[in-house]
């Protein structure tokens, strides 16, 4: 097992509306998506965003595109216009999410590296 940052095996997209942030995490293949289903729990995401997300974190699964969407409530200190945070935009949460670390089986990482090598131009 290896500990990896999501940035090494995933992509993300995030945004906000009011005091709610949503963060999508996209796996490169079905095998890594299965790891995400096990390891990327709402509790783990809330812990990762400790001090920023004060409300509930809800996870939505999108198996057709190997993605998870996390809706984080009470995440922007009241929202864009009422927050005193220096950087309070939801789009920043995607980059921050990619710093989260999880354990992944070595053989999955090897398979992923082989996929990338086989698709290189």
CATH number at 58 reads 3.30.1360
Nearest to 1 by CA among 113, 107, 117: 107
Domain boundaries, position 107: 2-119
pTM exceeding the 0.85 threshold for the entire prediction: yes
What's the pLDDT tens digit per position in 77-116? Answer: 776 555 555 555 777 899 999 999 999 999 898 877 766 5
What's the pLDDT tens digit per position in 15-28? Answer: 888 889 999 999 99
Total domains, the chain: 1
Provide the 10 A C-beta neighbour count for residue 65.
Answer: 9
């Amino acid at each position: 097992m290896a500990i990896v940052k999501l940035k090494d095996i995933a992509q993300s997209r995030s945004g906000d509306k009011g005091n709610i942030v949503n963060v999508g995490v996209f796996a490169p293949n079905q095998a890594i998506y299965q790891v995400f289903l096990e390891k990327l729990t709402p509790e783990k995401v809330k812990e990762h965003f400790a001090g920023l997300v004060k409300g509930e974190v809800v996870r939505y699964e999108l198996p057709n595109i190997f993605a998870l969407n996390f809706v984080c409530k009470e995440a922007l200190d009241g929202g864009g216009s009422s927050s005193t945070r220096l950087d309070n935009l939801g789009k920043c949460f995607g980059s921050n999410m990619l710093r989260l670390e999880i354990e992944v089986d070595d053989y999955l990482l090897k398979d992923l590296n082989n996929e990338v090598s086989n698709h290189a131009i």
